[in-house]
Amino acid sequence: MTENKPSKNNLKFLKSAAGFAFEIIKAFVISLAIILPIRYFLIQPFYVQGASMEPTFSTHDYLIINEIEYHFEAPTRGDVVVFKSPYSQKEYFIKRIIGLPGEKVEIKDGQIYIYNQEHPQGFVLPEDYLPGIQTYTEGKQYSQLQIKNNEYFVLGDNRNASLDSRNFGAIPRQNIIGRAWIRGWPFTKLSIFNKVNCNKITTNN
């Protein structure tokens, strides 16, 4: 009996196929090494559901959340953030930061008052990003809420239809995932969101 030996052409083909497969695997591993850290530590997609952030964001908006920013600096007033729900760690909310750690927040006459070390008498929060908006708590005055040193007071931009800190109180810092950065969908509303200016204040006389 004669033994069938692979021809040179077959050996060449096998080596070429093995080399190609190795390059594919290498590219896949490198891609995972790049994409996974970006996906889990730098940016994260978020799909808006509900009307609590209208008119800023609408249901079905697709957002990219900047996660790395808060590794280097604290969240600031006016930031729109995604955070773990106080009711379920598997659910996420999107709201705007209103009160910072250590401050007091009061809602009366449709306005938000902030009390802190710089303004112990309080100031009216300017919300130029929501012209004409008024904030209420079912028609009643919201007593001053003292925010703990590791917490933030958050509200939805749609003040008449938002489940937020008026209901569940301030949220822990560790629950905040990141800041709303880019709206990728719908394409007609593609935009990048910068930090807002909340520095023009009116003191509470």
Q: Look up 7 and say whether it is catalytic.
A: no
Q: How many Å apart are CA 182 and CA 87, to the nearest integer?
A: 27
Q: Check the CA dihedral 177-179-182-186 and report its sign.
A: positive
Choose the catalytic residue: 7, 26, 31, 52. Answer: 52
31 catalytic per annotation: no
Candidates 5, 31, 58, 95; catalytic one: 95
Q: CA 172 to CA 154: how far, in whole Å? A: 11
Residues labelled as active-site residues: 52, 95
